[in-house]
Amino acid sequence: MDTPDTLSKMSISNDAREMLVRAREDGIETVWDRLAAQQPQCGFCSMGVSCRNCAMGPCRVDPFGEGPQQGVCGADADIIVARNLGRTIAAGAAAHSDHGRDILEVFASLAAGETSGYEIRDEAKLLALAKEWGIEAGDRSINEVARDLADAMMEDFGSRKDHIGFLDRLPEQRRKLFEELGITPRGIDRENVEMLHRTHMGVDNDYANTSLHGLRTSLSDGWGGSMIATELSDVMFGTPTPIKSRVNLGALRVECVNIALHGHNPLLSDVIVQAAQDPAMIALAKEKGAESINLVGLCCTGNELQMRQGLPMAGNHLMQELVLLTGALDAMVVDYQCIMPSVTDVAKCFHTEIISTADKARFAGATHVSFDPQRGLEIGKQIVELGIEAYVNRNPDRVRIPAGTMDMMAGFSVEAILEALGGTPEPLVEAIKAGKIRGAVGVVGCNNPKIPQDHGHVTLTRRLIENDILVLVTGCAAVANGKAGQMLPESAEMAGPGLSEVCKALGIPPVLHMGSCVDNTRILTLAAALANYLGVDVSQLPLAGAAPEWYSEKAVSIGAYVVASGIFTVLGVQPPIFGSHNVVKLLAADLEEVVGARFAVEPDPEQAAKLICRHIEVKREALGLPFIGTGECPTDKVA
């Protein structure tokens, strides 16, 4: 039996702990139970030295050096680890980029006038993108410009270009470096397909060559598929501006029909928000005894809605089962990515309807409503109706909603940050030069039950802002920091004196919510804009990335494109590469000489903060900015 002490080691947030107690009481299994049941996990797999790419295998290499050292084909640990890492990056890049394609296809249909429930909400951004992509607007209609932009972006997915469009945002030095290294991403689908080709038996048998293509594949995600997703989502759903919101399971309301929007793609969830505001839908909810319809977000679908509409968040990745345990959720609408197959099992213990919507992501035990952008609004209403019908079956005796929500602020697109700065990066650059802000760090990525939920995100972020480092968050990291109360303008009090002063002057939090995990591209865009403004390469800037609790293949792709773009990145969870000393050395050391950045692995957020502070001071010193000597670690003073 778990004690409160063991529950506290699963998550640092009280709403999660309260639901974990209920899970024990009701005998409902969650992700933490399944992780325990999987122990010990296979060392060949977690060190990356098992290969099942062909039928001469499966094979594994003995990392102790005495058993087999090569697979049947002759691949050693280096080749096997590089193959596996390459395929992991390809899977992650494919997930982001396929999401981007889905957005692009709806955007193209919208331009052709074939959709229902969609409009171009940010014409200025569309025109700016058209200009960036060399499309003449002239006196043509906005739809015609949109059609040309859609066509141009579609070309990025193919193999007819020598580089993808958004790559031009990078400083020239970096683009030249990519050319020299042969890692310029040419086409989004192309690099993914080529990775699968290279990792077929008997193709790329040089671990460094495979790993470099891994970087290229990831760049096709960061500067390609993901960036298209972010930019076109802004055009169709609005470019985020600072907005107040709330977070926690307390966002559920006992008196309302509660519908959670879970997954990653804003295409459907945006029309559901419209449908839930429809007077006929609200009337139906009232007729069934509810006061209204309450929508809450989960994971990155939630982040997309929170960024643009201030929709309250129920939680991040590890909350998806726990939100069902409130007994107050009437429907969970899912699109794709990071939706645990277990949600339908947990939902069976309650009245909750799980509604799947993507034909490519179906769940046994869910009600499937196939999403069609041509009938977007109609489908949105159909889904809301399902939620209202399920509400009737709610058992009030089983409702247990953890009390209270935390306020937070979202909506910091690059445009919004520049707006807050007065239209130019100059004030930010000046603050960095003066040392009031020592640097900026993207704290991003998932939850992983191997790390106490949110502990990595919250602790690392806190230490960084205490050391006057501006923190940019997306995805699960944003939710974690929101729950910890670190994302309000008042949170400036938690920051060091310099950052605190800047935040108070601008009225912004020291931790800026930049969106969903595809929106890590906003961080790339901002980093490139700063580098261009200063006339330096991205790798020279006092920046870093961190994924303290990552779990997914997408996170591996993100980490790879951040490092390839020139930004030092610390991972909290070890990637499956430790079976190859050479691959570890390449990624954690030698890449510094190749792309000007490298990876580090450190599960303890206190230690990760020290690594990052030191790194930022090294970059400041190289730029001739006031720095704190690397022998002395700033965080030491804080503790």
Partner 1 sequence: MANMQTVFINPERCIGCRQCEFACAVAHSESKEPSLALAEDPVPKSRIHVSPGRAYNMSVPSRCRHCDPAPCEQVCPTGAMARDVSHDLVLVDVHKCIACAMCAMVCPFDAVTFHAQTNGMPARVVATKCDGCIERLDKGQEPACVESCKVDALLFGDLNTLIAANRRDVSDAVVAATKSQLPAEKLPATIAGWRLWGESAAHITEEI
Burial class (CB in 10 A: 0-12, 13-18, 19+), 508: buried
Binding partner 1 (rule: CB under 8 A), the pick from 4, 27, 40, 624 is 40
Report the nearest approach of partner 1 to the CB of residue 79 (Å).
Answer: 15
Report the nearest approach of partner 1 to the CB of residue 443 (Å).
Answer: 16
Residue among 331 and 586 whose Cβ is closer to partner 1 = 586
Q: Are 570 and 544 in contact (CB under 8 A)?
A: yes
One symbol per residue from 559 to 578: x for binding partner 1 (CB under 8 A), - otherwise; what is it? Answer: --------------xx---x
Interface stretch with partner 1, choices 55-63, 291-299, 301-309, 557-565 (CB under 8 A): 55-63
Q: Is 41 in the site for partner 1 (CB under 8 A)?
A: yes
Report the nearest approach of partner 1 to the CB of residue 166 (Å).
Answer: 35
Report the nearest approach of partner 1 to the CB of residue 70 (Å).
Answer: 12
Q: Is 581 in the site for partner 1 (CB under 8 A)?
A: yes
Residue among 63 and 86 whose Cβ is closer to partner 1 = 63
Report the nearest approach of partner 1 to the CB of residue 458 (Å).
Answer: 11
Give residue for tokens 């277990």. Answer: 342
* Buried/exposed 82-99: b ≥16 CB within 10 Å, e otherwise: bbbbbbbbbbbbbbbbbb
453 DSSP assignment: B
**Interacting residues of 437 by C-beta distance below 8 A, sequence separation 6+:** 428, 431, 468, 469, 470, 498, 499, 502
What are the tokens at 481? 């920091």
Q: How many residues bind partner 1 (CB under 8 A)?
A: 38
Contacts of partner 1 in 360-419 (CB under 8 A): none
Interface stretch with partner 1, choices 15-23, 130-138, 424-432, 579-587 (CB under 8 A): 579-587
- Apex 486 CA angle, 482 and 490, nearest 5: 120
Q: Is 509 in the site for partner 1 (CB under 8 A)?
A: no
Report the nearest approach of partner 1 to the CB of residue 64 (Å).
Answer: 5
Separation of alpha carbons 466 and 639, rounded Å: 10
Residue among 38 and 202 whose Cβ is closer to partner 1 = 38
Interface stretch with partner 1, choices 7-15, 190-198, 337-345, 617-625 (CB under 8 A): 7-15
Q: What is the 3-state secondary structure (H, E, C) of 510-554?
A: CEEECCCCCCHHHHHHHHHHHHHHHCCCHHHCCEEEEECCCCCHH
Q: Is 3 in the site for partner 1 (CB under 8 A)?
A: no
Separation of alpha carbons 218 and 556, rounded Å: 8
Binding partner 1 (rule: CB under 8 A), the pick from 66, 139, 162, 397 is 66
| Helix, strand, coil tally for the chain in percent (to 5) | 50, 10, 35
Residue among 389 and 604 whose Cβ is closer to partner 1 = 604
- Apex 74 CA angle, 68 and 78, nearest 5: 80
Q: What is the 3-state secondary structure (H, E, C) of 337-368?
A: CCCCCCHHHHHHCCCCEEEECECCECCCCCEE
One symbol per residue from 589 to 618: x for binding partner 1 (CB under 8 A), - otherwise; what is it? Answer: ------------xxxxx-x-----------
Report the nearest approach of partner 1 to the CB of residue 528 (Å).
Answer: 32
Separation of alpha carbons 93 and 91, rounded Å: 6
Report the nearest approach of partner 1 to the CB of residue 574 (Å).
Answer: 4
Q: Is 584 in the site for partner 1 (CB under 8 A)?
A: yes
Burial class (CB in 10 A: 0-12, 13-18, 19+), 76: middle
Binding partner 1 (rule: CB under 8 A), the pick from 580, 587, 594, 599 is 580
One symbol per residue from 448 to 487: x for binding partner 1 (CB under 8 A), - otherwise; what is it? Answer: --xxx--x--------------------------------
Beta-bridge partner residues of 353: 331
Tell me how far apart the terminal alpha carbons of the chain are, to the nearest angstrom. 35
Binding partner 1 (rule: CB under 8 A), the pick from 22, 29, 43, 109 is 43
Residue 503 phi/psi, 5° resolution? -60, -45
Binding partner 1 (rule: CB under 8 A), the pick from 20, 23, 28, 47 is 47
Q: Is 51 in the site for partner 1 (CB under 8 A)?
A: no
Q: Is 131 in the site for partner 1 (CB under 8 A)?
A: no
Residue among 205 and 574 whose Cβ is closer to partner 1 = 574
Handedness of CA 338, 83, 175, 534 (dihedral sign): positive
Report the nearest approach of partner 1 to the CB of residue 272 (Å).
Answer: 37
What are the tokens at 278? 């429809």
Helix (H) or strand (E) holding 247: strand 243-247
Q: Is 63 in the site for partner 1 (CB under 8 A)?
A: yes
Q: Count of CB atoms within 10 A of residue 363's CB?
A: 18
Residue among 601 and 623 whose Cβ is closer to partner 1 = 601
Interface stretch with partner 1, choices 13-21, 33-41, 177-185, 471-479 (CB under 8 A): 33-41
Residue among 84 and 580 whose Cβ is closer to partner 1 = 580
Contacts of partner 1 in 309-348 (CB under 8 A): none
Interface stretch with partner 1, choices 36-44, 139-147, 281-289, 620-628 (CB under 8 A): 36-44
Burial class (CB in 10 A: 0-12, 13-18, 19+), 289: exposed
> Residue 626: which of 635, 617, 634, 615 has the closest Cα?
617
Q: Is 55 in the site for partner 1 (CB under 8 A)?
A: no
Binding partner 1 (rule: CB under 8 A), the pick from 2, 22, 24, 46 is 46
Report the nearest approach of partner 1 to the CB of residue 288 (Å).
Answer: 43
Q: Is 65 in the site for partner 1 (CB under 8 A)?
A: yes
One symbol per residue from 77 to 116: x for binding partner 1 (CB under 8 A), - otherwise; what is it? Answer: x---------------------------------------
Burial class (CB in 10 A: 0-12, 13-18, 19+), 489: middle
Q: Is 579 in the site for partner 1 (CB under 8 A)?
A: yes
> CA 533 → CA 131, 421, 526, 527, 544, distances in Å?
19, 14, 10, 10, 18
Report the nearest approach of partner 1 to the CB of residue 63 (Å).
Answer: 5
Helix (H) or strand (E) holding 470: strand 469-473
**Interacting residues of 441 by C-beta distance below 8 A, sequence separation 6+:** 464, 469, 470, 471, 472, 543, 544, 545, 546, 612, 616
Q: Where on the chain is the footprint of partner 1 (CB under 8 A)?
A: 8-9, 12, 39-47, 60, 62-68, 77, 450-452, 455, 573-574, 578-581, 584, 601-605, 607
